[in-house]
Amino acid sequence: MKFDVISIFPEFFEGALSCGMLRVAQDKGAMDIKITNPRDFVKDRVVDDYQFGGGAGMVFKPEPLIKAINSVRTDRSTLVYLTPKGELLDQKMVNEFARKDHMIIISGRYKGVDERIIDVFEPRQISVGDYILSGGETAALVLIESITRLLPGVLGNRDSAETDSFQKNLLEAPIYTRPGVYRRLKVPNVLRSGNHNRIAEWRRKKSIEMTLLRKPELLGNETFSEKDFEILLEVLNGRNS
């Protein structure tokens, strides 16, 4: 997959893209990324101005951003504008983006972008949470990493991505590693039993329990078996007792 990020701070991405999974993805050729600076498309390098009508905060001017976007856009490009006014990013959306060939990510700054940029390109407007950041660069890295880890060949074990929280509308079950006992806290016996069917049942049960207790809104998107409903009733009865 190819990513083009539109940002006035290309240096912001240098550290994140040079380590961990994002570096591995580039080394394997699964992901190619380029940062385009809108300042490079105007002689005075000024990309912001005051709002019409007054008000606090500067606004991205249309010309530098439009030129920057057009310099990388193709017929196969998917445009995303990162803004707190957008749809809340979730795993379903990430899975959808992971099937794209080319994504252009517009990282806003200041008070936001001139509305005519939205009118011209009609980008998908995405928010990474109901809070405010100084710019879209941090959000861009969140989006890029969430997508990249789903690309073929990036993770050493594909099952690692498939069993993550949210991937199947459930939170991930508790996980343990060695030692088997730490400060009198023991790893559940079932995980050391070697019985893969029992382990799978335990993990399913714990996933349902954790989701019900922490993020019950996810359960409306999951398909449940008769045994799953028994688990739900057991957890609910435990909460009400």
- The CATH number covering residue 66 comes to 3.40.1280.10
Do residue 132 and residue 185 come from a single domain?
A: no
Q: Which helix (H) or strand (E) segment is 203 a member of?
A: helix 196-214
**Is residue 182 classed as helix, strand or coil in its secondary structure?**
strand
10-residue block means of pLDDT along the chain (241 residues)? Answer: 98 96 96 98 96 92 97 97 95 96 95 95 96 95 97 75 63 92 94 94 91 88 86 80 55
The stretches of 20-148 forming alpha helices (DSSP H) are 20-27, 62-70, 91-97, 115-121, 137-148
pLDDT value of residue 159: 53
Do residue 136 and residue 203 come from a single domain?
A: no
- The CATH number covering residue 208 comes to 1.10.1270.20
Do residue 31 and residue 127 come from a single domain?
A: yes
pLDDT value of residue 218: 87
Whether 210 maps to a domain, the answer reads yes
Distances in whole angstroms, Cα of residue 50 to Cα of each of 6, 9, 43, 58, 114: 21, 20, 19, 5, 10
C-alpha 233/C-alpha 128 separation (Å) is: 33
Whether 20 maps to a domain, the answer reads yes
Could you list the residue range(s) of the whole structural domain that residue 74 is in? 2-148
| Sign of the alpha-carbon dihedral angle for 4, 10, 12, 17 | positive
Q: Which two tokens stand for residue 194?
A: 């070697």
pLDDT value of residue 241: 55
pLDDT value of residue 237: 83
Do residue 19 and residue 100 come from a single domain?
A: yes
Q: Which helix (H) or strand (E) segment is 236 a member of?
A: helix 226-240
**Is residue 12 classed as helix, strand or coil in its secondary structure?**
helix
pLDDT value of residue 198: 95
Do residue 70 and residue 11 come from a single domain?
A: yes
Domain boundary (127, 148, 169) is at: 148
Distances in whole angstroms, Cα of residue 168 to Cα of each of 46, 71, 184, 188: 45, 38, 33, 24
Measure the CA dihedral 65/53/129/120, to 10°. -40
Whole-model pTM: value is 0.84
Domain boundary (148, 169, 197) is at: 148
